[in-house]
Amino acid sequence: MLGILNYYIMELIRNIEKKDIPQLKIVIDSTGLFPSELLDDMIADYLTNPNSSDIWLTLELDGTPVVIAYCAPERLTSGTYNVYLIAVLKEHQGKGLGASMMQHIEQLLKEQGHRILLVETSGLPEFELTRRFYDKSNYQREAVIREFYQKGEDKIVFWKKLQDE
């Protein structure tokens, strides 16, 4: 049954369109962990550049975007992507939607021949659930960069190998 449900959820994932931006800001704001006012600048190239290698996805429920995800290639690497943003509308958290989105991203990148997926997040206590999410998703805690974001706020880097070599 879970396989059927996961297949159904994967069918709800699509590329983000400009019309989604206002609702996706609501999704981001509902988490309280990321300033949604940064979204316009972050997504601008993707929306205007047909050759962008950035990946911007949403998952819709009843025609409304409730998940946002953004990943892009790491510069000066071969086959390495980084998830810069993933957020699930607060009232839909804990239902497996974020995990389904991550699985979708991983599969997409595998199919494109990419090797590694990184995720970076804060070491602050309010990001504990985020860090546990990546632990449960079988990401390895690869590095801690002390005081990266600001004094007293470390960056935690998670790593996952996408291809068996």
Rounded distance between C-alpha atoms, residue 123 and residue 24, angstroms: 24
7 compared with 103, residue with greater pLDDT: 103
For residues 14-41, give the mean pLDDT.
95
- Mean per-residue pLDDT of the chain: 93
Q: Provide the b/e sequence for 126-156 (b: ≥16 CB within 10 Å).
A: ebeebbebbeeeebeeeeeeeeeeeeeebeb
- DSSP class per residue in the chain: -HHHHHHHHHTTEEE--GGGHHHHHHHHHHHTSS-GGGHHHHHHHHHH-TT---EEEEEEETTEEEEEEEEEEPTT-SSEEEEEEEEE-GGGTTSSHHHHHHHHHHHHHHHTT--EEEEEEE-SGGGHHHHHHHHHTT-EEEEEEEEEEETTEEEEEEEEE-S--
Q: What is the pTM of this model?
A: 0.91
Per-residue model confidence (pLDDT) at position 165:
61
Query: Tokens representing 114?
Result: 């990419």
Q: Which two tokens stand for residue 48?
A: 């205007």
Please name each of the domains of the chain with its CATH number: 2-161 (3.40.630.30)
Is residue 4 pLDDT above 50, yes or no? no
pLDDT of residue 163: 82
DSSP annotation string for 11-44: TTEEE--GGGHHHHHHHHHHHTSS-GGGHHHHHH
Q: Across residues 8-12, what is the average pLDDT?
A: 69
Find where tokens 């979708």 sit: 104
> Quick check: 126 pLDDT over 60?
yes
- Spatial neighbors of 1 by CB under 8 A, at least 6 apart, are none
